[in-house]
């Protein structure tokens, strides 16, 4: 006989969500166990007197617990458990409770070795049947939750490993890009004039890096990537060396500004470049888009550069971290007003007030002010009226090759008087 019966019992929780299969060659045992478990609240009880269709059913839908008669004609319980190992999906957990009237210890040991998890001795005690089924359901629930938890952890690990793999691949690509730029000399310099607002005379130039490499992007992104892969200082030194190599092509009464981060400024490579050049014609613009980690080391390095004749400029004043505290500690020879401060200064009283205060500050510390990013004649007029002595920007000249520098830019001012 093959039978499937469904009993809806009152018990909540695991019993009410479970499926139990009973396989016993005694139809009376199947009916009795099915009714007992159904009355206890098991959601679905499937009963079989023939193991073959029971195995087929397990392939379609694995039950939560299998109650299996150990001694049956044809295919006994040991053969069923062996067959289950072959047909169940990988990772499936099916607790088997052996039904037997045989209390022999050797038989029980053999059943445990074959995969059984518990025993029910015939004739059955109703309370014992329900308790053992409930206990195994709790065990399976814990196992299922553990498996789910482990699967979630494995998924997180797999995701983390994928992120790490992608990060490592991105790092390798970044490293290759930076190495290609350095090895193939794909960095070149352009020069933007710094012009006197008093007479239009060329007083200096700022050396700016450009990159003839893929991907085409702003120079600051190349330097940021070099920093990420540990080649930031090397990239900056390469740029400064390229600029200073053409210093002698400038008019003798002009200077060259070069850019370096605090990390580069404290190292020996930059100082060596300065010592090998005409230090009195060099202005070091300290780019500071991150906080200075060690001011004392930075100030010592800057003092060494000053002894070689190099002047120090505070770049981006009015933006980033270049605040008053930075200016007070740095005591720069040159203060460069950021484009965020000079833009539309002719139409903004607040910008003019701040610039005017910086004019007084620069005078007190014996520094020179240079306005950056000047793009209109109105801005030039306002800066000149404030007493700012020099400026640079597209209104005066765009960056270009050093051969394009002119000694006088007076005709670019327009009507500034």
Say how far apart CA 118 and CA 59 lie, in whole Å.
Answer: 22
pLDDT at 64 (0 to 100) = 93
pLDDT digits (tens, 9 = 90+) for 231-280: 999 999 999 999 999 999 999 999 999 999 999 999 999 999 999 999 99
Cα 228–Cα 231–Cα 233 angle in degrees, nearest 5? 110
Q: What residue ranges in 279-327 does DSSP mark as E strands?
A: 282-286, 311-317
pLDDT digits (tens, 9 = 90+) for 296-321: 999 999 999 999 999 999 876 655 44
pTM equals 0.70
Across 70-79, 118-127, 172-181, 398-407, which has the greatest mean pLDDT? 172-181
Say how far apart CA 30 and CA 3 lie, in whole Å.
Answer: 8
CB 256 within 8 A of CB 283: yes
CATH architecture designation of domain 185-412 = Alpha-Beta Barrel (3.20)
Q: What per-residue string of b and e applies to 6-37 under the rule 16 or more CB within 10 Å gives b?
A: ebeeeeeebbeebebbbbbbeeebbbbbbebb
CB neighbours (10 Å) of residue 224?
14
Say how far apart CA 206 and CA 284 lie, in whole Å.
Answer: 10
Q: Which of 4-8, 37-41, 359-363, 392-396 has the lowest mean pLDDT?
A: 4-8
Q: Give residue 412's pLDDT band: very low, low, confident or very high (50, 70, 90).
A: low
Q: Give residue 282's pLDDT band: very low, low, confident or very high (50, 70, 90).
A: very high
Say which CATH superfamily domain 2-150 falls into: Response regulator (3.40.50.2300)
Q: For the residues 161-178, what does the mean pLDDT come to?
A: 96
Say how far apart CA 181 and CA 194 lie, in whole Å.
Answer: 28
Q: Give residue 87's pLDDT band: very low, low, confident or very high (50, 70, 90).
A: confident
In this predicted structure, the answer to whether residue 104 has a pLDDT above a threshold of 90 is no
Positive or negative: CA dihedral 256, 262, 265, 269: negative
- Considering the chain, tell me which residue range(s) the CATH 3.40.50.2300 domain(s) occupy: 2-150
The residue with tokens 């981006």 is 316
pLDDT at 107 (0 to 100) = 84
314 CB-side CA count, 13 A: 27
Strand partners, 5: 45
Please state the φ and ψ torsions of residue 267, each to the nearest 5 degrees.
-85, 165
pLDDT digits (tens, 9 = 90+) for 41-76: 999 999 999 999 999 999 889 999 999 999 999 899
- Please state whether 258 falls in left (phi above 0), alpha (psi between -120 and 50) or beta: beta
In this predicted structure, the answer to whether residue 145 has a pLDDT above a threshold of 60 is yes
The residue with tokens 């002047």 is 311
- Considering the chain, tell me which residue range(s) the CATH 3.20.20.450 domain(s) occupy: 185-412
In this predicted structure, the answer to whether residue 326 has a pLDDT above a threshold of 80 is no
């Amino acid at each position: 006989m093959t039978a499937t019966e469904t009993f809806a019992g009152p018990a909540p929780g695991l019993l009410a969500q479970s499926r139990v299969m009973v396989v016993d060659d005694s139809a009376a045992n199947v009916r009795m166990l099915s009714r007992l478990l159904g009355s206890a609240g098991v959601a679905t009880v499937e009963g079989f007197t023939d193991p073959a269709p029971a195995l087929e059913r397990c392939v379609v839908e694995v039950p939560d617990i299998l109650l299996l008669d150990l001694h049956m004609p044809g295919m006994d319980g040991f053969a069923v458990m062996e067959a289950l190992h072959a047909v169940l999906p990988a990772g499936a957990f099916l607790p088997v409770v052996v039904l037997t009237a045989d209390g022999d210890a050797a038989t029980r040991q053999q059943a445990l070795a074959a995969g059984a998890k518990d025993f029910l001795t015939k004739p059955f005690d109703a309370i014992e049947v329900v308790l053992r089924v409930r206990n195994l359901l709790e065990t399976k629930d814990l196992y299922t939750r553990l498996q789910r938890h482990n699967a979630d952890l494995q998924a997180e690990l797999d995701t983390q490993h994928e992120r790490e793999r992608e990060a490592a691949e991105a790092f390798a690509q970044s490293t290759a890009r930076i190495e290609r730029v350095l090895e193939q000399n794909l960095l070149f310099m352009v020069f933007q004039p710094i012009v006197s607002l008093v007479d239009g005379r060329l007083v200096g130039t700022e050396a700016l890096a450009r990159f003839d490499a893929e991907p085409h992007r702003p120079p600051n992104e190349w330097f940021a990537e070099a920093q990420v892969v540990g080649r930031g200082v090397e990239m900056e030194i390469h740029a400064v060396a390229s600029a200073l190599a053409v210093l002698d092509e400038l008019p003798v009464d002009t200077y060259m500004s070069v850019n370096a981060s605090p990390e580069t400024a404290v190292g020996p490579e930059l100082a060596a470049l300065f010592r090998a050049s005409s230090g009195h014609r060099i202005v070091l613009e300290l780019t500071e888009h991150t906080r200075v980690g060690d001011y004392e080391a930075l100030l010592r390095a800057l003092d060494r550069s000053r002894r070689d004749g190099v002047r120090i400029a505070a770049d981006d004043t009015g933006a980033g971290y270049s605040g008053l505290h930075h200016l007070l500690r740095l005591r720069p020879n040159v203060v460069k007003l950021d484009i965020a401060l000079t833009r539309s200064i002719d139409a903004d009283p607040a910008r003019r007030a701040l610039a005017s205060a910086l004019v007084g500050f620069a005078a007190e510390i014996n520094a020179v002010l240079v306005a950056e990013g000047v793009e209109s004649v109105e801005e030039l007029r306002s800066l000149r009226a404030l007493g700012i002595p020099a400026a640079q920007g597209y209104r005066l000249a765009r960056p270009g090759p050093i051969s394009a520098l002119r000694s006088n830019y007076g005709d670019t001012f327009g009507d500034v008087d």
